[in-house]
Structure 1
Amino acid sequence: MPSWGRAGMEKGHPAGGGPSGGGGVRGGLLGRVGGCSTQPFTTLLSPRRQILQEGVDSSLRQLLIEAFVSAGRVDNITMVMGLHPQYLSSFWKTQYLLLRMDGPLPYHKRHYIAIMAAARHQCSYLVGLHMEEFLRVGGNPAWLQGLHYAPQKLRNLNEINKLLAHRPWLITKEHIEALLKTGENSWSLAELVQALVLLTHYHSLASFVFGCGINPEEDQDGGHGCWPPSPHSDSSPASDDSMGGSGGKDAMQEVEVLMERMKLLQESQLEEEGVTQEEMATRFELEKTESLLVTPSDIADHSLQSNVLCFVEDPEFSYKDFTRRGEQAPPTFHAQDYTWEDHGYSLINRLYPDVGQLLDEKFQVVYNLTYNTIAMHCGVDTSMLRRAIWNYVHCVFGIRYDDYDYGEVNQLLERSLKVYIKTVACYPEKTTKRMYTQFWRHFKHSEKVHINLLLLEARMQAALLYALRAVTRYMT
């Protein structure tokens, strides 16, 4: 069972409730807030007027006000996350601590690290945001000409930035040791831990940006206005694409098939005595191997923009499947050997007080967030589905939970959803609108936003576990 947080989660019984902690139907697996909807991969992802109209939760209104007072703007990421205020609150507190509260690193270097991280995934949206913030807090404009203009100490992060973004399982204690060795450009352990959290935070946030198709604000380069859909609708991608006739029926049938599979799995869990450890291991290896076949057929062509390319060294380095045919695969990371709950949390809290608690809260909130509904169905226990999504993300990064039956992943996640998950988690810059519309065609946009929140946090926890394990090995 994965460590959703230090408190964990009782199997099959998610901590209930919506943004205010209560139950209720919000229009899907996660639902929506205040009737606002979000249309990915278009100019519709900044529905400021719509999200602030009648029916908006007071908690969301307060969060948006706080965001504006703090940063002088409400960016599109905040607006999209605002579909789920409980998560937005947790995310906002964490990011505020990382960027604006006391910590080992000066503020301008934190924003520069954010730029370096976002550039690895060609995320010009985040690069642009943090170039502005870097200058606002007094950063040297010359550094923005490219990585070669930055101090050597920051440039030394390039290798671990590259590995964390694309192949975190390759990180060793030697990478940590190289950064901490004595000299004028050495990092302290506290500084390095803050940098590692920032890097993983912005790699994962880039996944969210591409996964939801978030565009720049109007006042950013490349930004534009928006023509939001009706503020009282949270339509499915299928209806937005004018899917009618047999397409609409097929999309509805997909929901019924998923519901039936969940029901059968829950019943079989109650009836059977349990799967042997050997069978569990076999099913994980099978899922890991099958993930090789899950590749997108319509890869987005993203040519690196000059304002992004200048922050990237070795741009050809990218995600490589954990298991490759004919190659010696790295050893599987058994989650029980180095858990967030028992190891990662305490290490971060010791070296970077408070952030461990906030990360822990964020992991728990995103997993336990549910309205107990799926598409048009109410009263549904969605914990099995959320667990399958989380564990599939960790699987493609080589992490195995010994007590989880990976047969559930194949039962619950159809191929188009697997393609989307793997693309957004591993090479988000290749995400296309078609990938987004092809999975869960009868689900609401707000439900798909929650998929992206799960991907963001599962990916961040996976990379952090690899990095913190290397730090622990260095310290011992």
Structure 2
Amino acid sequence: MEADLPHSTLSPTLEEELARDTRARQLQSFRLRIALFKPLQTVSDEEREVALDRIIEVAQSYLHIARAPFSPCRKFLFSPFYFSSEARATFDPACSSPPLSPEDEFSVQALESKLEADNADDQLQHFLLTILRLSKTCPFADVRHTLSHFLQTVSEASTVPVPRPAHHSPSYFISLKDIFSLESTPCDSAIMSYPRPSNFQRSSWSHEISWTVSDTEPREPCLVSPATDTTTCDDGRTTGGRPTDDYIRQMFVRLFLEEGRITNVFRVMAFFPTFYEIYHLTYTEILKSSTGPLPPTWKIYLGIMAAAEHGCQYLVSLLKLEFLQAQGNAKWLKGIHHCPVKLQRISLILLKMARQPWRLRLQDIVTLIGGMPGSPRQDAWSKGELVQAILVMATVLGLSTFVLGCGIAPEVDMRGGYTVAGNSILDVYPCEGIERELDQTLTLMVEEEQEAIRAASSATGWHDSSILLFEDQDENEDLVKKRGADLITKLQSYTSSLSSPKSCPNFTWKHDTPWTGFSDKGHDTDANENEPVRYPAYEDLSRFADPVADKDIQRQDFEQVKEQYDPFMLGVYCWEDHGCDIVNQFLPGVGDDLDDEFTEALSITDWSLFLHMTDAAIDTTPLRHAIWYYTQRLLGVIKEDYNYEDFAAYLNDRSKDYIKRACCFPHQLGAFDWNNMGLPLRAEEKCHMILLIASAKKQALICYALALIEQVL
């Protein structure tokens, strides 16, 4: 059939001109949208009201001229598939404008006309997706209520398809009733139910914003039980089932004022607000700030490479959006062979860090810094650039582990995060999200796109059809309950041995909170428990890795090869005494902030474990240390003064297996793993376990690379 398809007769010059014009229109539309929504990032009710009126006015103007937003047909404009009669027959008549006639289908005028019409559709699509996101995740109730009402009105008018969230919770595994509400509650002064350091005090997040809740602003009810389900309210004001105190509320507001978006990964990481304060600072310093020798787009692209290596579609989509908004070259997103040679050459280091860090060698670093024989000098890395690149890659590898372990769902305005009612074609050809607003390079044909999904499935371990995320294969509840009781006894003995002033009564299961196994699969209450869910792997992520190194370096844990390689001894080189200093040398202050991040991850606790217990105070330090050092041992890192017999005391076989999968094979994690960690952990405790794994992994990878960089003269 392909031999009979027409081919473009446009000259390269005209094609380039059309592409340039299209890019200009995209930039203009993007800047208009940003300018319209930016005024919502204010604590002033009056300013937000004016901005909302303007947003709705512009959106209504697009409603009058747009024809087919959320149509997959437009991406086939320059594809031969678009012109086949078989393809045209699959689309709804209202899907887009009729195909061009044979005599003028490649005329410049016809193409320009088509581009103009599609531009209006694209603008409306991006407007509606942004409105949908803010109607669900904006911390200001007036914004959520107004935009929800607008979407409801448009939907009832049936003029254009209206998007709706594909997932109500920010996580596939955690029910929305367990997520912190975006609104503070009337009883917030009594709430302090999240892990934090023992010496916790309110921080700058609570004091730098002169904001108070208006007496007239709608507020969530105070939920006395986390099991209370308030997630079905349809007015957009209910944003989570867990009460939020003023400290966390101020964090939500601060983040929105700074970035205009509260991401799903932050909604989950808000379980640990004191940690997130520090993590947000270091993440911004490492990936977003202008500090250091690497350009912002290079740092973001390194992040894309790292996220793709772990098969983390969620972070790849987020970082692609940031990359394009930072005016990165969209051609780089075609794959690693389209980016500068200098970036291509670091792929080997990335793959070794992610899969077999013990295989990193001094020669790998020398080759990067000295350059390949005969290669231009500009392709060589400086020590400062390499230190910064290592921090970026280790940060995103760690964050990818957290995202995949916690089952973070796609952002509501990105591909996989929304659905469109009544448009069955989107089930076959899903529309792109806001992350592709400025990207015109990946206009794949349907056959190519399906092949890309299959390749992504093969590379990441996810099937390309349907995946049953919510498997009903929980461990025996009596066995898990016994493990929990045994661990509590050991932790209480540890606490008593330290003569802790805190009271630690004998462990008992609370009678009013009976053990029910793992019946809550972590998805929305209105979802079908047996419904297969497609996990978001929408593209061939292997294109961001060097194909030769990708084939040569397989994922392993150190136990498989410990007879062949020497372990990394923290007594010789450790983060606290060495790594922190070299980071501060090239990025002043960042090393100290990272040190605070690692310390915070390891120290936060709510002095309890498993189900809530009356008057219980459990010091979980041995358990947290066991998770941390077991993770690092899987990577070949040994701490000489740690008692490794604690592994047998505080970790059971199932817990060890989970840590191994999360550390070394995070792309394989699914709901079965989430539901079977070997202990009856609460949702936030599971997230803390994953956070410890991700942080310990991040620190180990940084130490491996920095120890070699320091050896280069």
Alignment TM class, shorter chain as reference: 0.7 to 0.9
Q: 1:63 to 1:266 in 2, by over 3 A?
A: closer
Matched, 1:72 2:260: yes
- Report what 2:559 is aligned to: 323
Residue identity opposite 1:195 in structure 2? A
CA distance in 1, matches of 2:342, 2:545: 16
* Paired residues of 2:358 and 2:567 also in contact (CA < 8 A): no
Q: Which residue of 2 aligns with 1:100?
A: 288
Q: Would you say 1:447 and 2:685 are equivalent positions? A: yes
8 Å contact from structure 1 (residues 318, 427) kept in 2: no
Aligned partner of 1:259 among 482, 488, 491: 488
Q: Deviations over 1:119-163 (max 9, x none)?
A: 111111111111111000000111111111001111111110111
Alignment RMSD, CA only?
Answer: 3.2
Cα displacement (A) at 1:407: 0.9
Query: Partners of 2:584 and 2:225 in 1: how far apart?
Result: 37
Partners of 2:471 and 2:671 within 8 A in 1: no
Whole-angstrom CA distance in 2 between matches of 1:458 and 1:372: 21
Whether 1:114 aligns to 2:296 is no
Decide whether aligned partners of structure 1 residues 18 and 307 sit closer, same or farther in structure 2, where only a CA change above 3 A counts.
Answer: farther
Tell me which amino acid in the other structure corresponds to 1:78: F
Structure 2 residue 312 is the aligned partner of structure 1 residue 123? yes
In structure 2, C-alpha distance between the alignment counterparts of 1:92 and 1:382, rounded to whole Å: 25
Which protein has greater RCO, CA pairs closer than 8 Å, 6+ apart? Answer: 1
Question: How many residue pairs get matched?
Answer: 399
1:198 correspondence with 2:355: no
Per-residue CA deviations over 1:357-406 (Å, capped at 9, x if unaligned) read: 11111001111101111123421111111111101001101111111111
For the Cα contact (< 8 Å) 2:310–2:666, is it kept in 1? yes
CA distance in 2, matches of 1:35, 1:169: 50
Partners of 1:466 and 1:152 in 2: CA distance: 24
Tell me what 2:348 maps to: 159
Match of 1:380 in 2: 618
Q: 1:329 to 1:269 in 2, by over 3 A?
A: farther
Q: Is the 8 A contact 2:368 2:380 kept in 1?
A: yes
Compared CA separation, residues 34 and 399, structure 1 to 2 (3 A): farther
The match for 2:545 is 312
CA distance in 1, matches of 2:661, 2:201: 28
One of 337, 340, 345 as aligned partner of 2:575: 340
Q: Hey, what's the Cα distance between the residues in 2 that align with 1:62 and 1:122?
A: 33
1:257 maps to a residue whose letter is D
Which deviates more from structure 2 when the two are superposed, residues 335-344 or residues 93-102?
A: 93-102
User: Please, what TM-score do these two structures have when normalized by structure 1?
Assistant: 0.77
Aligned to 2:326: 137
Kindly state the Cα deviation for residue 249 of structure 1 after the two structures are TM-superposed. Answer: 4.4
- Residue type at the aligned position of 1:204: G
After superposition, the Cα gap between the structure-2 partners of 1:51 and 1:97, relative to the gap in structure 1 and judged at 3 Å, is: farther
1:81 has 2:285 as partner = no
Q: What CA distance in whole angstroms lies between the structure 2 residues aligned with 1:256 and 1:148?
A: 54
- Any conservation in 2 of the 1:17–1:371 contact (CA below 8 Å)? no
1:321-370 Cα distance to aligned partner (Å, 9 max, x none): 32337x74211211111011110000110011121111111001111101
Spell out, residue by residue over 1:380-439, the C-alpha distance to the aligned partner (whole angstroms, 9 max, x if none).
Answer: 111111111101001101111111111111111111111111111111001121111112
Structure 1 match to 2:335? 146
Q: Does 1:16 align with 2:252?
A: no
Question: In the superposition, relative to structure 1, how do residues 408 and 54 fare at CA in structure 2: closer, same or farther (>3 Å)?
Answer: closer
2:176 pairs with 1:176: no
SS in 1 for 2:712: helix
Q: Distance in 1 between matches of 2:666 and 2:201?
A: 28
Match of 1:358 among 577, 593, 597: 593
* Closer, same or farther: CA 380–50 of 1 in aligned 2, 3 Å: farther
Report the AA paired with residue 421 of structure 1: I
Please list, as runs of the form range in 1=range in 2, the aligned pairs for 1:399-414 lying within 5 A after superposition. 399-414=637-652
Contact 2:655–2:679 (Cα < 8 Å) also in 1: no
1:186 to 2:392 alignment: no
* Structure-1 residue corresponding to 2:695: 457
**In structure 2, C-alpha distance between the alignment counterparts of 1:121 and 1:19, rounded to whole Å:** 36
CA distance in 1, matches of 2:623, 2:559: 25
Amino acid at match of 1:311: F
Residue aligning to 1:470: 708
Counterpart CA distance in 1 for 2:627 and 2:270 is 22
Question: Where does residue 430 of structure 1 map in the other structure?
Answer: 668
State the partner residue of 2:408: 214
Q: CA deviation at 1:264?
A: 4.9
Q: Deviations along 1:237-281, whole A, 9 cap, x unmatched?
A: xxx99999x9544443322111123345667899xxxxxxxxxxx
Q: Letter of the aligned partner of 1:322 in structure 2?
A: F
Conservation of the 8 A alpha-carbon contact between 1:152 and 1:185: yes
Tell me how far apart the structure 1 counterparts of residues 659 and 683 of structure 2 sit (CA, whole Å). Answer: 15
Amino acid at match of 1:107: P
| Paired residue type of 1:382 | T
Residue 336 of structure 2 aligns with an amino acid whose one-letter code is L
Is this contact kept in 2: 1:18–1:371, CA < 8 A? no
Return the alpha-carbon distance in structure 2 between the equivalents of residues 36 and 116 of structure 1.
42
User: Per the alignment, in what secondary structure is the counterpart of residue 333 of structure 2?
Assistant: helix
Q: SS of 2:633's equivalent?
A: helix
Structure 2 match to 1:236: none
Q: Distance in 2 between the 1:324 and 1:392 partners?
A: 15
Of 37, 40, 56, which residue of structure 1 is paired with 2:244? 56
> Given that residues 495 and 618 in structure 2 are in contact (C-alpha distance below 8 angstroms), is that contact kept between their aligned partners in structure 1?
no
Q: Which runs of 5+ in 2 are unaligned?
A: 1-195, 204-221, 372-376, 420-469, 500-533
Alpha-carbon contact 2:306-2:393 (below 8 Å) kept = yes
Tell me the SS of whatever aligns to 2:660: helix
**Aligned amino acid, residue 336 of structure 1:** G
1:19–1:84 CA contact under 8 A, matched in 2: no
- Once residues 198 and 105 of structure 1 are traced to their aligned partners in structure 2, the CA distance between those partners, rounded to angstroms, is 11
Paired residue secondary structure (1:337): coil
Shift in CA distance, 418/186, structure 1 to aligned 2, threshold 3 Å: same
> Structure 1 303/366 Cα, relative in aligned 2: closer, same or farther at 3 Å?
closer
Distance 1:448 1:254, change over 3 A: same
Letter in 1 for 2:389: A
Question: In the superposition, relative to structure 1, how do residues 36 and 87 fare at CA in structure 2: closer, same or farther (>3 Å)?
Answer: farther
Structure label with greater radius of gyration: 2
* 8 Å Cα contact 1:424/1:431 also seen in 2: yes
Higher mean alpha-carbon deviation, 439-448 vs 355-364, is at: 439-448
Which TM-score applies when normalising by structure 2? Answer: 0.52
**SS in structure 1 at match of 2:408:** coil
Q: 2:628 aligns with which of 373, 383, 390?
A: 390
Unaligned runs of 5+ in 1: 1-13, 22-32, 226-239, 271-300
